[in-house]
Amino acid sequence: MYHMEIHTNIPLKNYVTMRIGGNARFMVDVRTPSEVAEICKRAKAQQLPIYVLGGGSNTLVRDEGYQGIVVRNRIPGFHVIAETASDTTIRIGAGELWDDTVKRAVDMNLTGIEALSAIPGTTGAAPVQNIGAYGQEISETLVAVEVYDEQTDTITTLSNEACQFSYRNSIFRDGQMGRYVILTVTLRLYKSAPQPPFYAAIQKYLDEKQITLYTPQVIRDAVISIRSEKLPDPTQHPNTGSFFKNAIIEQWQLTDLRKEYPDIPTYDMPDGTFKVPTGWLIEQTGLKGQILHGMKVHDKNALVLINESATNYADLAAARDEIIGAVRDKFRIQIAQEPLEMTQ
């Protein structure tokens, strides 16, 4: 029987991909839903806050660290729970690495998450910010999540609808942040081949390689290749992937901006707003490739901040605020940070 070991005074910078931040007062790995329940009850009794950490690729830690318990979710599992002629439903443990989940689904020749290949982090973290890339979002295949509800001390299931997914958002990072610990994720994937039209970058890759037979593996290979070009490996260059969310603007703002920037790239959103690539906005400010306070604006993708020499959160915050300010001054658009912050 595995016994939960609670460690004290752990340097969190070793557990997050940006490699900065103070210490965790307590840290524990959990491998079963009952361990999650037990640690949450213990924390409540001692009035300690809890932060659930997956791969640390979308989390920032402040210099003062975390005074509560950092729970590393390591719940395993990958089980087919239902199958029809057209689809397969799989339940995955929240501690499984997300890219391993994608690889296993693709190996089974299932479609639905192949464009989400090579996204770092755990499967349990994927619904939190409704991960999306190259025309797919996890909300499109997610059936339900099993969660531990700290408010009621019960294990319960939330439907897709109950998660309130929107662009890079969900109930888990918005309305009910801190209430639920995700235990398993259930996805429904399809046996049919991926269908065009594909995202522009994927289509370009397929055209260049003269690929016209589309399989989940072909799309996965394309995405891995494109991402490795655009996104630096966090083990070599500390970063959190996209540091800023893409900007969402109203029609009147777009009309206004087009007068001055006729070539502004946009994507139509279902609710009548427009998504503007924040990387493009940052590029126009001239900050691409620059180093601010030890943080480098990646020269291949201005959405990414690489920690070149910053040693503390204050440096990162200064760089972030300078970039946000430059975009606001030039475009009157307020851009927002994507990674979550471990706060008390």
CA distances from 52 to 36, 56, 97, 170 (A): 10, 10, 15, 16
Q: What are phi and psi of 82, to 5 degrees?
A: -160, 150
Radius of gyration of the chain (CA): 21
C-alpha–C-alpha distance, residues 326 and 220, integer Å: 36
Q: Say which DSSP state 111 is in.
A: B
Give domain limits for the chain.
7-73, 78-190, 239-342
Residue tagged 């969900």 (tokens): 170
Q: Which CATH class is domain 78-190?
A: alpha beta
Q: Which CATH class is domain 7-73?
A: alpha beta
Whole-prediction pTM = 0.88
CATH topology of domain 239-342: 3.90.78
Question: How confident is the model over 260-293, as pLDDT tens digits?
Answer: 999 999 988 888 999 999 999 999 999 999 999 9
Q: Is 34 a catalytic residue?
A: no
Active-site residue (options: 38, 140, 283, 338)? 338
Most distant CA atoms of the chain, gap in Å: 66
Q: CA quadruple 278, 169, 275, 114: dihedral positive or negative?
A: positive
Question: How confident is the model over 294-323, as pLDDT tens digits?
Answer: 999 999 999 999 999 999 999 999 999 999
Active-site residue (options: 19, 72, 91, 168)? 168
Q: Is 225 a catalytic residue?
A: no
Q: What's the confidence (pLDDT) of residue 2?
A: 53
Q: Is 242 a catalytic residue?
A: yes
DSSP 23-82: EEEEEEEE-SHHHHHHHHHHHHHTT--EEEESSSSSEEE-TT-EEEEEEEE----EEEEE
pLDDT band at 230 (very low <50, low <70, confident <90, very high): confident
Question: How confident is the model over 67-120, as pLDDT tens digits?
Answer: 999 999 999 999 999 999 999 999 999 999 999 999 999 999 999 999 999 998
Active-site residue (options: 57, 139, 170, 242)? 242
pLDDT band at 344 (very low <50, low <70, confident <90, very high): low
